[in-house]
Amino acid sequence: MFRFFERLVAPFDGMPETAPPATFWAYLADHLRPFRRVLGFITLTGLATALVETGLIYYAGHVVDLLAEGEDGFWSRNGLELVLISAFVLLLRPVAITLNHLLLNQALSTNLLERVRWRAHRHLLGQSIGFHQNDFAGRLANRVMQTGPAVEDSAFMSFEALWYAAAYFIGALLVLSEIDWRLSIPLLLWLLIYLALLRALIPAIGRASQKYSAARSTLTGRIVDSYSNIATVKLFAHGRREEAFALSAMKSSRLRFARMLRLMTLMMAGIAAVNGLVIVAVVGAAIWLWSLGDASIGAVSAAAALTLRLNGMTGWIMWVTSQLFQHAGVIREGMESISQPHDVTDAPGASDLKVTGGEIAFRGLRHHYGKQGGGLEGIDLVIRPGERVGLVGRSGAGKSTLVNLLLRFQDPEAGRIEIDGQDVRSVTQDSLRRRIGMVTQDTALLHRSVRDNILYGRPEAGEAAMVAAARRVSAHDFILGLRDFNGRSGYEAHVGERGVKLSGGQRQRIALARVVLKDAPILVLDEATSALDSEVEAEIQAALTGLMAGKTVIAIAHRLSTIAQMDRIVVLDGGRVAEQGPHAELLAARGLYAGFWARQSGGFIGLEDAGPAAAE
């Protein structure tokens, strides 16, 4: 039975590819659209449940009147009626309530929560590298995790509480009108005062909630940032500094939370005063009508029971309403990230990249990150199919920018990049990146097993191919000796967040094995062997030489010895191509490259300016 209701909506199917709507009500409507049929049934069952409850209170008053008629002939006159009502209470009422909660819990809540989270996570995964670099990973994760429950709880409360309460109020109004229309007057007046109180306080609670939610996300981001960089914190002995960094966010969070709770206390005080008025007004009016002979004792009992029940509900309703506005604040705060459109997107009808030779052409490439200077200033460069090119230049010369644009982590502000004549903006991002293998200096591994990390390069590869890739980069032997905290060993051992349980060299070799397994026709190496000791580096360089065969290669290096054997070396300076040619030719030209080579210490480019004079 549960499974039937849980399958009424498929939470992960039919997910739109576009960004979630950026306005609050459109955002909610978009996520609730697949639940239209379920919400219709919830509306009907909620109405039925509320009317049954008010009907039972009305009937309880009727029973009081029956008892007032005396004991003689009571069972003979009313026995069948009471049996039928008992059967209804024992059988049909539980069915109605159970059906309502099956729809609320199993069909709505079970699916809506994860649907919201899944769409948010999926959308953020598609955001550019720059988007993620400009925010805390912890804050983004917090927004994904808390927005889902806020949407789900809002929908649940709207139907489980507000709609039920509205239906109950309608039922109470009908019952009181049936007794005497004058009893409905104080109830309507109470409703007007109650709504005015809601209107005065609830929006302020919503605004306070949004500010509190933002403060909580900032706090989460700061805490996660400290944990993610715990080695740096320890290395520089800045534990106290990180405490202060988090404490300032905690104090801000506390102040905003206190502001929200003050408003809720004011709201509850107002409710208590308003509820006293409705009890006195309705029950007093019923007693007055009884004294006039216009209402029976049972009617007075029903009026009192309805009012007291409504009084008990009002605090609950007000709390639910305040929760809804708090959730609205959480949702609005989450939408600041979740509803941002992608800044790097596939062109309509984009096709897969087809690499026939691997030629890469940078034509008139300009990119300044939206600033006046820095970045690339007009790059014209063609890398022939199968050519191995080394990129050299001072920090900030544009090497990493060139590679980031090639991978479409960002789009250039002017110019274009072509691979075998295809503009990279006209092909899908996934197909582009599948055909480029890259190893970076700052290698980060997934907090999964060694096997998962290597197979990330080509998930469909078999065991033999995975082990062969590890052997090729001298990683197989040390992998067999790994053992993690949970006793998993070898290729099943987990490497920790970003691979922190491994040495730098071990991380680099696993990353290299991943690229070897990927076997993409274009290879980008960004200081690929910088984390390795000299002996292992020699082994890896030999492996890389074999890996480069038949591929178009771009290698960024500060240690010039690692790229001296490249077919061509391109020197970038000030965002332009300053020099290019084979190693020997550039040395003979006695330009920038010759200066870099002369100033190396331990094989690295010097930090100071290098020029023709340096080669003298």
Q: Are residues 252 and 330 in the same domain?
A: yes
Residues 78-94 have a mean pLDDT of 82
Both structure tokens of 363:
């034509």
Q: Are residues 369 and 325 in the same domain?
A: no
DSSP 581-606: E-HHHHHHHTSHHHHHHHH-SSSB--
* pLDDT on residue 465: 94
Checking if the pLDDT of 291 tops 60, the result is: yes
Q: Are residues 534 and 485 in the same domain?
A: no
* 3 is a domain residue: no
At 479, which CATH number?
3.40.50.300
Checking if the pLDDT of 246 tops 90, the result is: no
| Cα–Cα distance measured from residue 604 to residue 336, given in angstroms and rounded to the nearest whole number | 43
Total H helices, total E strands in the chain = 22, 10
Q: Are residues 549 and 452 in the same domain?
A: no
| Cα–Cα distance measured from residue 471 to residue 465, given in angstroms and rounded to the nearest whole number | 10
Q: Are residues 328 and 473 in the same domain?
A: no
Listed residues 484, 514, 544: the one ending a domain: 514
Which of 182-196, 269-283, 445-459, 545-559: highest mean pLDDT?
445-459
Residues 316-345 have a mean pLDDT of 82
Ranking 42-46, 66-70, 523-527 by mean pLDDT, the lowest is: 66-70
| Cα–Cα distance measured from residue 89 to residue 79, given in angstroms and rounded to the nearest whole number | 15
Q: Are residues 510 and 531 in the same domain?
A: no
Checking if the pLDDT of 146 tops 70, the result is: yes
* 351 is a domain residue: no
Listed residues 490, 514, 538: the one ending a domain: 514
Question: Residue 602 half-sphere exposure, CB side, CA atoms within 13 Å?
Answer: 4
* 147 is a domain residue: yes
Q: Is the pTM of this model over 0.75?
A: no
Listed residues 498, 514, 530: the one ending a domain: 514
* pLDDT on residue 359: 94
453 or 322: which leads in pLDDT = 453
For 417, the 3-state DSSP assignment is: strand
φ and ψ of 285, to 5 deg: -65, -40
Which pLDDT band, with edges at 50, 70 and 90, does 607 fall under? very low
* 236 is a domain residue: yes
* pLDDT on residue 375: 77
Q: How does pLDDT run across 533-571, given as a tens digit for each residue? A: 666 667 667 767 777 888 999 998 777 877 888 899 999
Checking if the pLDDT of 21 tops 80, the result is: yes
**Structural domain count, the chain:** 3
* pLDDT on residue 372: 64
Q: Are residues 461 and 532 in the same domain?
A: no
| Domain interval for residue 479 | 446-514
* 440 is a domain residue: no
Q: How does pLDDT run across 359-384, given as a tens digit for each residue? A: 999 999 988 876 766 678 889 999 99
What sign does the dihedral 527-528-531-533 (CA atoms) show? negative
Q: Are 32 and 158 in contact (CB under 8 A)?
A: no
Q: Are residues 153 and 241 in the same domain?
A: yes
Checking if the pLDDT of 578 tops 50, the result is: yes
* pLDDT on residue 354: 93
Q: Where are the alpha helices (DSSP H) in 292-360?
A: 297-338
* pLDDT on residue 613: 37
* pLDDT on residue 451: 92
φ and ψ of 529, to 5 deg: -115, 15
* pLDDT on residue 528: 67
* pLDDT on residue 536: 65
Q: How does pLDDT run across 390-438, given as a tens digit for each residue? A: 999 887 788 888 998 999 988 888 999 999 999 999 999 999 999 999 8
Q: Are residues 403 and 380 in the same domain?
A: yes
Report the percentage of the chain scoring pLDDT > 90.
20
297-338 and 137-157 helices cross at what angle (nearest 10)?
160
Looking at every residue in the chain, the average pLDDT score rounds to: 83
Q: Are residues 117 and 162 in the same domain?
A: yes
Strand ranges of the sheet holding 522-526, from the earlier edge strand across to the other edge: 436-439, 522-526, 552-556, 388-392, 568-573, 576-581
401 or 276: which leads in pLDDT = 401
Checking if the pLDDT of 343 tops 70, the result is: yes
Q: What is the DSSP letter of 88?
A: I
Q: How does pLDDT run across 160-203, given as a tens digit for each residue? A: 777 777 777 777 777 777 777 787 887 788 778 877 877 887 77
Which pLDDT band, with edges at 50, 70 and 90, does 615 fall under? very low
Both structure tokens of 512:
């290299």
At 178, which CATH number?
1.20.1560.10
Q: Are residues 279 and 149 in the same domain?
A: yes
Q: Are 519 and 458 in contact (CB under 8 A)?
A: yes
Q: Are residues 370 and 492 in the same domain?
A: no
Between the alpha carbon of residue 229 and those of residues 225, 237, 440, 500, 611, the distances in Å are 6, 12, 19, 10, 38
* 355 is a domain residue: no
Burial track 3-21 (b if 16+ CB lie within 10 A, e otherwise): eebeebbebeeeeeeebbb
Q: How many CB atoms lie under 10 A from the CB of residue 351?
A: 12
Distance of CA 374 to the CA centre of its chain: 33
* 178 is a domain residue: yes
Checking if the pLDDT of 453 tops 50, the result is: yes
* 343 is a domain residue: no
